Amino acid sequence: MSGTPGSATVRKSYRTLARWLETAPPDLLQARSRQAELFFRRMGVTFAVYGDVESNERLIPFDVVPRIIGAAEWEHLEKGLKQRVSALNAFLKDIYGPQDCIKAGIVPADLILTNPHYRPEMQGRRPPGDIWTHICGVDLVRTGEDGFLVLEDNCRTPSGVSYMLENREMMMRLFPDLFAEHRIRPVETYTDMLLASLRASAPEHAGADPTIVVLTPGPYNSAYYEHSFLADKLGVELVEGRDLFVNDDIVFMRTTEGPKQVDVVYRRVDDDWLDPLTFRPDSTVGVPGIMAAYAAGNVTLTNAVGTGVADDKAVYTYMPEIIRFFSGGDPILGNVPTWRCREPDALKEVLDRLPELVVKEVGGSGGYGMLVGPAATKAEIEDFRKKLEADPDDFIAQPTLSLSTAPTLCGTELQSRHVDLRPFVLSSPAGVRVAPGGLTRVALKAGSLVVNSSQGGGTKDTWVLDD
């Protein structure tokens, strides 16, 4: 059932599940699946899709068959993730500090300094503990028996963690007996870990009990459900920009008991919209003056401003060298082989092999602005070729991966569907921690490799076994 294409073997971690499925009544999965949808709808676990006016709130399809990762595999993954995220933080500290990695020729200067996600405003700034990407989501794919490769780092405002938690909640409700037969590591501790991490990241003056808020752009944002979910689980206020103001370089929230000083802002508003006095002047979802408070060290923003320069797809291609430079060791988790179209030789090869490659815009995200060669029409490919020739710097290309698949309920039967995995890594001055699990995204169309929820992907619960 689960494996890499061409291999007919069932991965060891799935054996218990396979046995259970064989003895389960035939329509059990479908019944549970309907039940899950009902629950999610009632709880309003929704996702807004950009440009989709018809239904601005919709459910992400949930697949009831869990994705299972063995203990040894996870141990390896966790080590790799910690190494990678530590390197990302060290990289950001260096970029906004001495820029040794540029001087040493590890990354080209222009790639960083002219990158739209590099924020000159942050040069010379040092957030508490030199932590920049407090919450990082790393997208992984399995391409063979020998493990996982990193597809993408998300260092800005990675989303999806509410699905990791809600999916687990749902599975425990639907299949209590399966949980009895497996020893599954809990993900529910994530919010406690997050709270501890945010507390540890507070400015020094805040003391033992800092005031933390979650800053959302508002109910029309695609991830609003997650923002309110997290605020709720953390037991902190969910605020919009207009709930905060800055006075005397200090951030306050407006409460019925008067202004209250805020020490940590877990912000889910992008850099560009954060402060109309520093960034886009037309932003109505930001907080005027918050960058002044930030620069004065009176508030911690998580994630820090300017982290986007580390998850840029062009910078991604340098991650193996970056990890070596900052950790002194070889990367435990490799990159997917990638052509940098900014390099003439690579560009030539990419243009020659366009129908078989995946080409991505370096600044794009969410599966928008990419070409999946094998799935594209001739016209689409030719269109993309023109874009690529006009601005090669804006693109990278990757081989079409033979992504691993996982059993997925499709109609009435189980079929193989491609999956990826986004674990969440928390960094603070107190250390780096990884929640044992993550968000497994699944491409619901047969053969499709695009797992983004905005493009019709679904999610699964992810089980990390304890033994």
Stretch that binds other proteins, among 70-78, 115-123, 191-199, 415-423 (CB under 8 A): 115-123
Q: What is the DSSP string of 101-163?
A: HHHTTSS-HHHHHT-TT--GGGTT---GGG---SEEEEEEEEEETTEEEEEEEE-S----HHH
- When binding is defined by CB under 8 A, the residue of 60, 246, 401, 451 that contacts other proteins is 246
Rounded-to-integer distance, Cα 464 and Cα 73, Å: 9
Please state, as a whole number, how many other Cβ atoms lie within 10 Å of the Cβ of residue 388. Answer: 20
To the nearest whole angstrom, how small is the minimum distance from the Cβ of residue 347 to other proteins?
A: 20
Q: Are strands 237-239 and 212-215 parallel, antiparallel or unpaired?
A: parallel
Stretch that binds other proteins, among 31-39, 225-233, 379-387, 453-461 (CB under 8 A): 225-233
To the nearest whole angstrom, how small is the minimum distance from the Cβ of residue 467 to other proteins?
A: 38
| Per-residue exposure over 334-365, b if at least 16 CB sit within 10 Å of its own CB, e if not | bbbebbbbbeeebbeebbeebeebbbbbbeeb
Q: Does residue number 270 form part of the binding site for other proteins (CB under 8 A)?
A: no
Q: Which residue is associated with the tokens 């929640």?
A: 435
Using the 8-state DSSP alphabet, how is residue 184 labeled? B
Q: For residues 42 and 378, which CB has a smaller minimum distance to other proteins in the complex?
A: 42
- When binding is defined by CB under 8 A, the residue of 27, 75, 100, 232 that contacts other proteins is 232
Residue type, 410: C
Rounded-to-integer distance, Cα 350 and Cα 396, Å: 9
CA distances 208 to 107, 129, 170, Å, are: 39, 16, 35
Q: Does residue number 231 form part of the binding site for other proteins (CB under 8 A)?
A: yes
Q: Are the C-beta atoms of residues 296 and 119 closer than 8 Å to each other? A: no
Which residues does 109 contact at the CB level (< 8 Å), separation at least 6? 99, 102
- When binding is defined by CB under 8 A, the residue of 54, 209, 257, 467 that contacts other proteins is 257
Q: Does residue number 235 form part of the binding site for other proteins (CB under 8 A)?
A: no
Q: Which of residues 284-343 bind other proteins (CB under 8 A)?
A: 288-289, 292, 295-296
Rounded-to-integer distance, Cα 72 and Cα 115, Å: 38
- When binding is defined by CB under 8 A, the residue of 5, 105, 124, 447 that contacts other proteins is 124
Stretch that binds other proteins, among 123-131, 308-316, 341-349, 364-372 (CB under 8 A): 123-131
To the nearest whole angstrom, how small is the minimum distance from the Cβ of residue 288 to other proteins?
A: 4
Number of residues that bind other proteins (CB under 8 A): 42
Distance separating the N- and C-terminal Cα atoms of the chain: 21
To the nearest whole angstrom, how small is the minimum distance from the Cβ of residue 123 to other proteins?
A: 4
- When binding is defined by CB under 8 A, the residue of 5, 98, 105, 281 that contacts other proteins is 281
Q: Does residue number 48 form part of the binding site for other proteins (CB under 8 A)?
A: no
- When binding is defined by CB under 8 A, the residue of 9, 114, 189, 415 that contacts other proteins is 114
Which residues sit at the interface with other proteins, rule CB under 8 A?
Answer: 99, 109-110, 113-114, 116, 118, 120-125, 219, 228, 231-232, 237-240, 242-243, 245-249, 253-257, 276-278, 281, 288-289, 292, 295-296
